[in-house]
């Protein structure tokens, strides 16, 4: 199903306007929302083909809004692509676990955005097939609770101990890590 109508959910007027201009120039019909709550409501009312979701917003953040959209019977068929300034791999993993199909880091490059819109299904499938770190981290069955200096976190130890590409072995610049204590 080709993407024609896109819902842009972002609290920044500048980012919303940028995405609106880029996407309308490419021929997409766009609807905007300023918060996570408004994004959830518009996803149900407007029935877009795709949602571009910011994460850092007041009220309902993008993670909660993504989870609400992807788990609601009326909107679960709508793919969500996260567009945010959060660059950490753990944020990407969490976004994928909430139901996002892709994760784009701001500042958004027009070519990367277009690639994500046109190849989103193929990208998600290739992540699963390649055994990438994100798809392994995103598996809800893997992982244990870990106590670290910054608090208790859910972290998959099996993925930490092996390299992203098992045929290459561990990367030379990283020393082996001591296992965390699990509870």
Distances (CA, A) of 112 to 35, 74, 104, 136, 172: 24, 29, 8, 23, 30
Condensed to tens digits (0 to 9), the pLDDT of residues 40-80 reads 999 999 999 999 999 999 999 999 999 999 999 999 999 99
Q: What is the rounded average pLDDT for all residues in the chain?
A: 76
Of the candidates 96, 104, 98, the one whose C-alpha atom is nearest the C-alpha of residue 133 is: 96
Claim: this prediction has a pTM higher than 0.75: no
Condensed to tens digits (0 to 9), the pLDDT of residues 115-155 reads 888 875 444 444 444 444 444 444 444 443 333 334 444 44
- 91 has pLDDT over 80: yes
Beta carbons within 8 Å of 108's beta carbon, 6+ residues apart: 15, 18, 19, 83
**Structural domains of the chain, ranges and CATH numbers in brackets:** 5-134 (3.40.50.2300), 142-183 (no CATH)
Q: How far apart are CA 40 and CA 75, in angstroms?
A: 9
């Amino acid at each position: 199903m080709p993407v024609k109508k896109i819902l842009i959910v972002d609290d920044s007027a500048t980012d919303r306007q940028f995405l609106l201009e880029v996407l309308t120039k490419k021929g997409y019909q766009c609807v905007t929302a300023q918060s996570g709550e408004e994004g959830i409501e518009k996803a149900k009312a407007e029935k877009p083909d795709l949602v571009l979701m910011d994460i850092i917003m007041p009220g309902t953040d993008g993670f909660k809004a993504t989870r609400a959209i992807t788990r609601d019977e009326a909107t679960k068929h709508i793919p969500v692509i996260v567009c945010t300034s959060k660059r950490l791999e753990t944020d990407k993993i969490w976004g994928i676990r909430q139901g996002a199909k892709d994760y784009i880091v701001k500042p958004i490059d027009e070519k990367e955005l277009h690639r994500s819109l046109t190849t989103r299904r193929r990208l998600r499938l290739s992540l699963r097939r390649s055994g990438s770190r994100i798809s392994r981290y995103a598996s809800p069955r893997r992982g244990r609770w870990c106590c670290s200096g910054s608090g208790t976190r859910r972290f998959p130890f099996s993925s930490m101990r092996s390299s992203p590409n098992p045929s290459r072995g561990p990367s030379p610049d990283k020393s082996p890590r001591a296992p965390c204590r699990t509870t």
